[in-house]
Every structure is written in structure tokens, then in C-alpha cells.
């Protein structure tokens, strides 16, 4: 006899009233824009997904500029003013992929523009926010291809747009962007200094305990998640496709004798206690460790909902930005020390 579904988590996540209203409005807007025929009402989304313009003159200590990599691919660079203060100081570059279920938002969306500014200032680092193609108009593997192209563009010098050669190049992303960041890092592991996965969006056919328990949590509705995966995955694919069920894909590689995950870059996975995806995120970290990845850290935020980092007034949001800065700077120091040791040898 099958075990009964676990009951939903009692109570509500601890959010201030303003944050609760914003989350409710965003969730309702997303639902309203998803059509039954598998298309998206982008006009409706455009009414509420406010775009922030680039700011070549610094705002809150960070300048931003837009750059075209190809006819369909653009990157917004966020450069902290400190990056130009000392020519001898090389700052890291973080190639960032925004969230939105592969379907919503852009690098110019106001909330992601603000998040990238916060990260650029806190680390400090140049943030290269990638405006990748969206589903369902552009399915798998279009975002991964765009992500690889953006990373290669940065590694090649970003067309001279960087203030100095990067100290190191990282990939990062939230939700679906965390999924993209993983796949981009897996394509070019030797070129990536570290991976920052903020509540990465993974899936699978068999529901996890957290997916059952938190189905009523913000952004956790099973119907919505199913729609998003159908919009992104190849026609006819299930959520056990390697793009979605990443933990299982890593385990299959390891069981088949592949050792490629031993070269996977140091990774931090940020997990929220009110996030429907948390079981898959922890399983991802466990799968990487089991496959041979040496440096995988899970950062826990027990009171956090999915996408909590967008609400900059939350204490956990501030903590996450500080944690990301600590990880990036630790990794840069580690690489600099290794380079110095090699020079002495």
C-alpha cells in the first residue's frame, strides 16, 4: 500500500505584508499569462514586467551597459565603480542567468536589474546578466546554447567592455537560471571558477516530499510547474529528461563510469525552507558529491520562499548576497594562492 501524501506545511511563510502582496500579485500574473494552448500572453506580461534601462552613469555605485553578442543574444554588464579605481586590481566576472521558469522575465526586468546591482556592489564583481531566449518560442537547448555563447564571449574579453582582465569567471543563476548555470558549467567546467545556484529549478516525474508538502507555497502549484516544463522540454519529453532531472542524470553518468564530474567547479547551492524545489536541490548537491565533485556547499535559509532574494528588504535576502560574495571572494583567493604557489615552485 502506498504511503499517503505528506500534509502541506502548516501556517504561512514569515513574510511582511508588502512582500506577501508582491508575491501574490506576481504569482497571479504568471498564471494569467499562461494559455491553455501552450503559448504565453507576452503583452499581458509586458504590462507588469517593468524594464529598467541601462545606466552608463553609475547608480548606487554601479554602472550598467547593454551589449549585443549576436542577432538574438544580449548581455547587460554591471560594473561597480570600484572596478575602475585601481588598475592593478582585477575583479571577478559573474555570468548571471535570471529566473522565470525559462518563460518569464529578461536581463532588463527591474527586479533582476536590482539584484545584479546588489551583487556587483557587494562582491565586488562585474556581473554579466544574460538575456537568453525564452520558451515556449525557444525550447531546450536554446537557453543553454545562449549561456555557453555568453560565457565564451566573457572569456574572450567581452569585446573590450570589461574594465580589466577578470580575476576569475563564475557562472550563477536563480531558479531556471540556476538550471541554466549548471548546464553551462557542465559544458565548460575548466573555464569556470565556481557555480552559484540560487534555488535551481529541477524536476522529475515522481514527486518529491517537498513538492507534495509545499504545493500551496508561493510558486509551488503543481499545474504551473507542469506547464513550464512542457513549454521548455522537447516535445514528448518527460520531466526525467536530463535537462530537468539533473540529479538522476549525474548519478547515471557516475554509475556508467564517467569521471567528468570530478572536474566540476566548486559549487554553492542555496536552499529555502519554503521552496517546493528544496528536495531536488539537496539531491543535486548530493549527486555532485557522490560523482566526485570535491567542493559542494549547501546554504540553508529555513524561512525563505522561492525567489526570496528578489525581496531586498528581507534579512535572508541580504544574507544571501553576503554569502554569495563570501563564496566568490573565497574562491578567488584560493585561485590566487594556487597561482602564487605554482610560481614559487
Query: What predicted TM-score, i.e. pTM, was given to this entire model?
Result: 0.95
pLDDT in tens, 122-141: 999 999 999 999 999 999 99
CA dist 337 and 148 (Å) reads: 28
CA dist 176 and 307 (Å) reads: 11
Asked, for residue 167, whether it belongs to a domain, the answer is yes
Number of domains within the chain: 1
pLDDT in tens, 214-267: 999 999 999 999 999 999 999 999 999 999 999 999 999 988 776 889 999 999
* Residue 294 DSSP symbol: S
Contact 24, 217 (CB under 8 A): no
Asked, for residue 131, whether it belongs to a domain, the answer is yes
Tell me, rounded to whole angstroms, the distance of Cα 117 from its chain centroid: 15
pLDDT in tens, 28-64: 888 899 999 999 999 998 888 999 999 999 999 999 9
Asked, for residue 152, whether it belongs to a domain, the answer is yes
The neighbour count for residue 114, using CB atoms within 10 Å, is 14
Asked, for residue 270, whether it belongs to a domain, the answer is yes
Degrees, nearest 5: CA angle 251-171-59:
150
* Residue 55 DSSP symbol: -
- Give the contacts of 299 (CB within 8 A, at least 6 positions apart): 268, 269, 270, 271, 320, 323
Asked, for residue 226, whether it belongs to a domain, the answer is yes
pLDDT in tens, 95-110: 999 999 999 999 999 9
* Residue 141 DSSP symbol: T
CA dist 69 and 72 (Å) reads: 8
Q: How confident is the model at residue 273 (pLDDT cuts 50, 70, 90)?
A: very high
pLDDT for the residue numbered 190: 95
Asked, for residue 5, whether it belongs to a domain, the answer is no
Catalytic center residues = 175
pLDDT for the residue numbered 4: 55
Asked, for residue 208, whether it belongs to a domain, the answer is yes
**Domain limits at 213?**
43-343
- Give the contacts of 218 (CB within 8 A, at least 6 positions apart): 13, 23, 24, 27, 274, 305, 306, 307
Query: What mean pLDDT is reported for the chain?
Result: 93
Asked, for residue 28, whether it belongs to a domain, the answer is no
Chain length of the chain: 345
Of 26-35, 64-73, 141-150, minimum mean pLDDT range: 26-35
pLDDT of 178 over the 60 cut: yes
Q: Residue 234 phi/psi, 5° resolution?
A: -60, 150
User: Tell me, what CATH number does 257's domain have?
Assistant: 3.40.50.1820
- Give the contacts of 65 (CB within 8 A, at least 6 positions apart): 54, 56, 76, 77, 79, 161
- Across the range 281-290, mean pLDDT stands at 98
Amino acid at each position: 500500500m502506498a504511503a499517503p501524501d505528506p500534509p502541506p506545511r502548516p501556517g504561512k511563510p514569515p513574510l511582511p505584508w508588502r512582500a506577501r502582496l508582491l508575491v501574490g500579485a506576481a504569482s497571479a500574473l504568471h498564471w494569467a499569462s499562461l494559455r491553455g494552448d501552450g503559448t504565453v500572453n507576452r503583452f499581458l506580461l509586458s504590462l507588469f514586467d517593468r524594464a529598467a534601462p541601462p545606466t552608463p552613469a553609475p547608480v548606487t555605485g554601479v554602472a550598467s551597459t547593454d551589449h549585443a553578442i549576436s542577432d538574438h543574444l544580449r548581455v547587460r554588464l554591471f560594473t561597480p565603480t570600484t572596478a575602475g579605481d585601481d588598475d592593478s586590481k582585477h575583479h571577478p566576472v559573474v555570468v548571471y542567468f535570471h529566473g522565470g521558469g525559462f518563460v518569464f522575465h529578461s536581463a532588463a526586468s527591474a527586479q533582476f536589474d536590482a539584484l545584479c546591482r546588489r551583487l556587483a556592489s557587494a562582491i565586488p564583481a562585474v556581473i554579466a546578466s544574460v538575456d537568453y531566449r525564452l520558451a515556449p518560442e525557444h525550447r531546450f537547448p536554446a537557453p543553454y546554447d545562449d549561456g555557453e555563447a555568453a560565457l565564451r564571449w566573457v572569456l574572450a574579453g567581452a569585446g573590450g567592455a570589461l574594465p580589466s582582465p577578470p580575476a576569475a569567471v563564475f557562472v550563477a543563476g536563480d531558479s531556471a537560471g540556476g538550471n541554466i548555470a549548471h548546464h553551462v558549467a557542465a559544458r565548460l567546467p575548466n573555464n569556470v571558477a565556481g557555480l552559484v545556484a540560487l534555488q535551481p529549478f529541477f524536476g522529475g516525474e515522481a514527486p518529491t516530499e517537498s513538492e507534495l508538502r509545499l504545493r500551496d507555497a508561493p510558486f509551488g502549484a503543481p499545474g504551473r510547474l507542469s506547464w513550464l516544463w512542457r513549454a521548455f522540454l522537447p516535445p514528448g519529453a518527460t520531466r526525467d529528461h536530463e535537462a530537468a532531472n539533473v540529479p538522476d542524470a549525474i548519478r547515471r553518468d557516475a554509475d556508467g563510469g564517467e569521471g567528468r564530474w570530478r572536474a566540476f567547479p566548486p559549487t554553492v547551492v542555496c536552499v529555502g525552507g519554503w521552496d517546493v524545489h528544496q528536495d531536488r536541490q539537496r539531491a543535486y548537491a548530493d549527486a555532485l558529491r557522490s560523482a566526485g565533485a570535491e567542493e559542494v556547499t549547501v546554504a540553508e535559509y529555513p524561512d525563505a520562499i522561492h525567489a526570496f532574494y528578489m525581496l531586498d528588504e528581507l534579512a535572508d535576502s541580504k544574507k544571501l548576497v553576503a554569502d554569495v560574495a563570501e563564496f566568490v571572494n573565497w574562491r578567488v583567493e584560493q585561485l590566487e594562492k594556487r597561482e602564487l604557489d605554482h610560481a614559487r615552485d
